[in-house]
Amino acid sequence: MKIIKPTLREIIDIKTVLKPYVDEGIILNRSDDEIATNIRSYQIVYDKKRPIGVGALHIYSPYLGEIRSLAVNKEYQLKGIGKELVRNLLKEAKELGLKEVLVLTYKKEFFEKLGFVEIQKEAVPDKKIWADCIKCKFFPSCNEIALITYL
């Protein structure tokens, strides 16, 4: 198992890992163009040549980042891969100089185990609401929980 920073050639792998969760409505669908624009935010986990995990660190401001599009292939869950990915994304966040990393999720306990604490959704930046949430089929009444970690 190895974690890499993808190139544009790996957009297909990102989409392969995310597809089942996009279909379930847990993860937001993003176009190839949007993934390409943000390609430098992604990390992919491979088991040999098979993509099995994805996560992205999106930057909002010199202080605030967000973990998004985090997913591990169902067959590979509960083996510590998600934890490893989040730790790697937080390491990158810290190296970049971010102070806080946000996540909007249904997987509260998973993120709490990684040091995140729940915050009020009102603390989520408007930029997120208007760029992302508005595209979601559950907007405006979703049950996602906002959590944050301080680096």
- Applying CB under 6 A, which residues contact ligand COA? 21, 26, 70-72, 77-83, 103, 105-107, 109-110, 113
Distance CA 118, CA 142 (A): 16
Q: Smallest gap, in angstroms, from Cβ of residue 59 to ligand COA?
A: 17
Asked if residue 101 lies in contact with residue 57, where contact means CB atoms within 8 angstroms, the answer is yes
- Our CB check for ligand COA shows the closer of 8 and 75 to be 75
Task: Give the Cα-Cα-Cα angle 143, 146, 149 (nearest 5 degrees).
Answer: 155
- Our CB check for ligand COA shows the closer of 9 and 143 to be 143
- Our CB check for ligand COA shows the closer of 46 and 110 to be 110
What kind and span of H or E run contains 95? helix 81-96
- Our CB check for ligand COA shows the closer of 25 and 62 to be 25
Q: Smallest gap, in angstroms, from Cβ of residue 150 to ligand COA?
A: 18
Asked if residue 111 lies in contact with residue 147, where contact means CB atoms within 8 angstroms, the answer is yes
Q: Which residues pair with 106 in a beta bridge?
A: none
Residue nearest to ligand COA (CB): 82
Q: Smallest gap, in angstroms, from Cβ of residue 95 to ligand COA?
A: 21
Distance CA 43, CA 57 (A): 8
Q: With 0-12 CB in 10 A as exposed, 13-18 as middle and 19+ as buried, what is 62?
A: exposed
Residue 6: strand, helix, or coil:
coil
Q: Smallest gap, in angstroms, from Cβ of residue 37 to ligand COA?
A: 20
Q: Smallest gap, in angstroms, from Cβ of residue 79 to ligand COA?
A: 5
- Our CB check for ligand COA shows the closer of 37 and 77 to be 77
